């Protein structure tokens, strides 16, 4: 598998605050990485270093290029959608497509127009007349029509209702993703993207707390739902975290065989969000 992103000892400070703290990272082709962390964890800053949008210490290689010195050529193969996606509001949709078609060498106008035909975003509408959901659809249409190898999404569906969010990720998988493309998704809507992720990375206070494939999570972590008298015995076994459930506790263990825990209750694979809370801490997530 080709390596798309390699980062070593990446650090970014703002005054006394270390937003990204000695991060090492490797992402291969065909990966869908979920970047999870509380507000202020350093997720957006890390993404900005990968895109060459902010300075940093350490080394980064994205598609064979250094984002600090080769950003122009790098951005021909990388696309980015942020939560504050900015499009020229005075333009019509068709004028924006004309502009991108004339400036980006890897843009396929027909693909963008075909995608927009499945939406309510019509060519003659002014961008300022579009709802936020339509704006995101337009941005996605432009991005999916670019033959890029890396797509970076920073809270792309923030503020959208659940129908728009669901459709966004369905279109992303069905119309864009393939084994040669790589997607990094930073989001708080963990439950909505868990089923499309191939790997997950937790960040807190600028540091990587966990970075594993989804298959490794299934192999290494076990969630036990214990009720009644079994709770005390379950709590006596070293665990990563626990939470209350009806009549008992849900506990997450690392490196313990599911078979040894089965007599104490129901065994499950922990969700990404529950594992995150267990690893990072309830107080950190909820203040």
pLDDT surpassing 50 at residue 284: no
Domain end residue (candidates: 205, 228, 244): 205
pLDDT surpassing 60 at residue 285: no
Report the CATH number at residue 253.
Answer: 3.30.70
Domains contained in the chain, number: 2
pLDDT surpassing 80 at residue 79: yes
pLDDT of residue 220: 96
Higher pLDDT, 119 or 268: 268
pLDDT of residue 118: 83
Give, in order, the Cα–Cα distances in Å from 214 to each of 7, 28, 194, 275: 21, 14, 9, 12
pLDDT of residue 283: 40
Cβ contacts of 24 within 8 Å, gap of 6 or more = 7, 8, 9, 10, 208
List, edge to edge, every strand of the sheet that includes 182-186.
Answer: 78-82, 150-154, 182-186, 32-36, 199-204, 207-213
d(CA 42, CA 21): 9
pLDDT of residue 84: 60
Provide long-range contacts, Cβ within 8 A and 24+ apart, for 84-91: 85/135, 85/136, 85/139, 85/156, 87/127, 87/135, 87/138, 87/139, 88/127, 89/126, 89/127, 89/128, 90/126, 90/127, 90/128, 91/126, 91/127
Taking each helix axis as running N to C, give the angle between helix 162-175 and helix 132-144, from 0 to 180 degrees, rounded to the nearest 10: 10
Q: Rounded mean pLDDT of 33-45? A: 93
Structure-block tokens of residue 162: 């659940």
My answer on whether 124 and 235 are in the same domain is: no
pLDDT of residue 287: 40
Q: Rounded mean pLDDT of 262-283? A: 89
| Structural domain includes residue 9 | yes
* Residue 264, domain extent: 217-286
d(CA 190, CA 213): 15
**DSSP-derived pairing of the beta strands 182-186 and 32-36:** parallel
My answer on whether 221 and 119 are in the same domain is: no
pLDDT of residue 36: 94
pLDDT cut 90: percent of the chain above it: 63
Q: Rounded mean pLDDT of 181-204? A: 90
Q: Give the dihedral of Cα atoms 264, 267, 273, 278; nearest 10 deg.
A: 30
My answer on whether 37 and 71 are in the same domain is: yes
Contact 28, 199 (CB under 8 A): no
**DSSP-derived pairing of the beta strands 32-36 and 199-204:** parallel
pLDDT surpassing 70 at residue 286: no
pLDDT of residue 190: 85
Contact 127, 93 (CB under 8 A): yes
Contact 193, 169 (CB under 8 A): yes
My answer on whether 53 and 193 are in the same domain is: yes
My answer on whether 174 and 277 are in the same domain is: no
What are φ and ψ of residue 198, in 5° steps? -100, -20
Structure-block tokens of residue 94: 């068709």
Q: Rounded mean pLDDT of 57-72? A: 94
pLDDT grade for 205, boundaries at 50, 70 and 90: very high
| Structural domain includes residue 211 | no
Structure-block tokens of residue 190: 């963990």
pLDDT cut 70: percent of the chain above it: 96
Per residue in 135-156, pLDDT (tens digit) is 888 888 888 888 889 999 988 8
Best mean pLDDT range from 134-143, 184-193, 197-206 = 197-206
Per residue in 208-248, pLDDT (tens digit) is 999 999 999 999 999 999 999 999 999 999 999 999 999 99
pLDDT of residue 282: 52
By three-state DSSP, how is residue 141 classified? Answer: helix
Per residue in 164-174, pLDDT (tens digit) is 788 778 877 77
My answer on whether 61 and 115 are in the same domain is: yes
pLDDT of residue 8: 97
């Amino acid at each position: 598998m080709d390596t798309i992103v390699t980062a070593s000892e990446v650090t970014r400070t703002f005054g006394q605050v270390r937003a990204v703290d000695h991060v090492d990272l490797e992402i291969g082709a065909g990966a869908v990485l979920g970047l999870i962390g509380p507000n202020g964890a350093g997720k957006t800053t890390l993404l900005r270093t990968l895109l060459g949008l902010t300075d940093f210490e350490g080394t980064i290689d994205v598609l064979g290029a250094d984002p600090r010195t080769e950003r122009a050529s790098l951005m021909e193969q990388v696309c980015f959608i942020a939560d504050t996606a900015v499009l020229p509001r005075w333009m019509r949709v068709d004028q924006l497509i004309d502009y991108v078609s004339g400036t980006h060498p890897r843009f396929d106008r027909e693909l963008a127009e075909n995608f927009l035909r499945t939406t309510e975003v019509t060519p003659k509408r002014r961008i300022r007349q579009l709802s936020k959901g339509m704006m995101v659809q337009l941005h996605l249409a432009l991005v999916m029509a670019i033959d890029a190898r890396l797509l970076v999404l920073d809270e792309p569906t923030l503020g959208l209702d659940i129908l728009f969010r669901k459709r966004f990720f369905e279109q992303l998988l069905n119309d864009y993703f393939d084994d040669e493309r790589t997607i990094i998704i930073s989001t708080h809507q963990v439950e909505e993207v868990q089923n499309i992720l191939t790997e997950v990375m937790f960040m807190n206070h600028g540091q990587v707390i966990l970075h594993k494939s989804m298959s490794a999570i299934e192999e290494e972590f076990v969630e036990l739902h214990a009720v009644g008298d079994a709770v005390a015995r379950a709590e006596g076994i070293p665990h990563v975290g626990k939470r209350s459930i009806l009549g008992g506790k849900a506990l997450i263990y690392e490196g313990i065989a599911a078979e040894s825990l089965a007599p104490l209750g129901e065994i499950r694979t922990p969700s990404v969000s529950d594992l995150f809370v267990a690893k990072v801490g309830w107080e950190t997530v909820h203040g």
